[in-house]
Amino acid sequence: MNISKEPYLVTKPFLPPIEEYKKEIEKIWETNWLTNSGPLHEKFNKEIKSYLNVKESTLFVNGHIALELAIKVFEFPKGSEVITTPFTFASTTHAIVNSGLTPVFCDIKLDDFTIDAQKIESLITEKTVAIVPVHIFGYPVDVYMVKKIADKYNLKVIYDAAHSFGVKIDDVDIGNFGDISMFSFHATKVFHSIEGGVLTYGDEKLKNRLDLYKNFGVNTPDSVDIVGINGKMNEFQAAMGVVNLRYVDSEINRREKIINFYRENLKNIAGIRYLEDKIFLKHNYAYFPIIVDEKKFGITRDILHEELKKYNIFTRKYFYPLITDFGCYKGLYETSHLINAKHISDRVLTLPLYTQLKESDIDYISLAIVKIQQNL
């Protein structure tokens, strides 16, 4: 097996035809408007709102700022508790902690790695004010169970939907669930605006306060009403978003084909498990994680991760370690019940996935996995 001279990275951003982007940013020179809700920003927000089929949307400079302000807009008392998942990117927990709140971690499900809604209720105390679940790898949380619990205890639900642009549950766009959903437009996502993020929500009364929060709390030139930050999306980001929105459906379709190539190639390899499609979902094929069973495959996930580098294939242990094992959080929270989360975190590996991959590239990556197993 010849080693590829070109590296296979875990992800590569999609870039639209450069002439289309140039055509959009030329308008910036015409208006001389770079930021502060310029014409492209307003156009992009209108198109995003339409594509996601939501009542309200607010754009931000990035997804993390968006999530943090989604939490802060409710002005929960300092020290209140928020139930969330330990199997996620650092941003989710950082947003909670930066808002002066205490994360309470719930275990996950083994079948799709999302928060186990059946276990949420047992974690609720008199200090609980919200639930911040994460739609992992584009696989949604049990939104119906979460709503039932939230309604029972009068809790807010703020979804980290960073991975879930374009996903639908029972033909309902995913941004319509919960009080607020946050989508990330980071360069590595299925859809991006270089950097960026959006909050979607149904309560129009939130819009004015979110606009204040992302613009230093400035209401008029002579009044600053709340302690805000600078979270505004600029015109260059908006221009990329406007152009990329034309291609997102074809990107998702291409990703589906790539993942199906992977599934076909890996289905008979002992010790490799991957997520399947769910019939009630419209998937966006954001990532392709596999679970490596050491006993059946023959080596650990960590060894496979390192061995693949010899074939110029670069994977990611995503998400590892668990949030609760980060240096900044280790020892601060109860973790003994996070059995499933620990199991998955120790075995998960995301394989390269981007639309530039060809079927022959998937064959190469898959064959490398087989060769590593055979050479044990």
Question: Do 71 and 198 fall into the same domain?
Answer: yes
Does an H or E element contain 29, and which?
Answer: helix 18-31
Q: What does the pLDDT read at residue 99? A: 98
Question: Do 273 and 222 fall into the same domain?
Answer: no
Q: What does the pLDDT read at residue 1? A: 85
Question: Do 308 and 225 fall into the same domain?
Answer: no
Q: How far apart are CA 245 and CA 44, in angstroms?
A: 9
Instruction: List, for the chain, all residue ranges whose pLDDT scores fall below the cut of 70.
Output: none
Question: Do 308 and 193 fall into the same domain?
Answer: no
Q: What does the pLDDT read at residue 275? A: 98
Q: 180-184 and 197-201 as β-strands: parallel, antiparallel, unpaired? A: antiparallel
- Domain presence at residue 31: yes
Question: Do 147 and 275 fall into the same domain?
Answer: no
Q: What does the pLDDT read at residue 34? A: 98
Burial (CB < 10 A; 0-12, 13-18, 19+), residue 72, is buried
Q: How far apart are CA 303 and CA 370, in angstroms?
A: 14
Question: Do 228 and 254 fall into the same domain?
Answer: no
Q: What does the pLDDT read at residue 15? A: 97
- Domain presence at residue 343: no
- Domain presence at residue 120: yes
Quick one: tokens of 43? Answer: 């156009």
- Domain presence at residue 5: no
Query: Could you give the C-alpha distances from 32 to 46, 145, 211, 232, 235, in angstroms and in order?
Result: 21, 49, 22, 17, 10
Question: Do 240 and 265 fall into the same domain?
Answer: no
Domain enclosing residue 263, as ranges: 248-315+351-374
Question: Do 272 and 293 fall into the same domain?
Answer: yes
Query: Could you give the C-alpha distances from 65 to 69, 71, 145, 160, 213, in angstroms and in order?
Result: 6, 10, 27, 12, 10
Question: Do 263 and 239 fall into the same domain?
Answer: no
Angle 304-308-314 (CA atoms, 0-180°, nearest 5)? 110
Last residue of a domain, one of 244, 264, 283: 244
DSSP 57: E
Last residue of a domain, one of 197, 214, 244: 244
Q: What does the pLDDT read at residue 376? A: 77
Last residue of a domain, one of 191, 222, 244: 244
- Domain presence at residue 346: no
Question: Do 142 and 267 fall into the same domain?
Answer: no
- Domain presence at residue 195: yes
Residue type, 282: K
pLDDT one-digit tens code per residue, 127-173: 999 999 999 999 999 999 999 999 999 999 999 999 999 999 999 99
Give the CATH number for residue 255.
Answer: 3.90.1150.10
- Domain presence at residue 320: no
Question: Do 215 and 361 fall into the same domain?
Answer: no
Query: Could you give the C-alpha distances from 246 to 28, 278, 285, 348, 354, in angstroms and in order?
Result: 20, 26, 18, 33, 17
Give the CATH number for residue 106.
Answer: 3.40.640.10
Q: How far apart are CA 146 and CA 155, in angstroms?
A: 10
Q: How many domains does the chain have?
A: 2
Strands across the sheet with 272-274, in order?
272-274, 289-292, 348-350
Q: What does the pLDDT read at residue 330? A: 97
Question: Which of these, 46, 44, 56, lies nearest to 211 by C-alpha position?
Answer: 56
- Domain presence at residue 337: no
Question: Do 225 and 290 fall into the same domain?
Answer: no
Cβ–Cβ < 8 Å for 178, 157:
yes
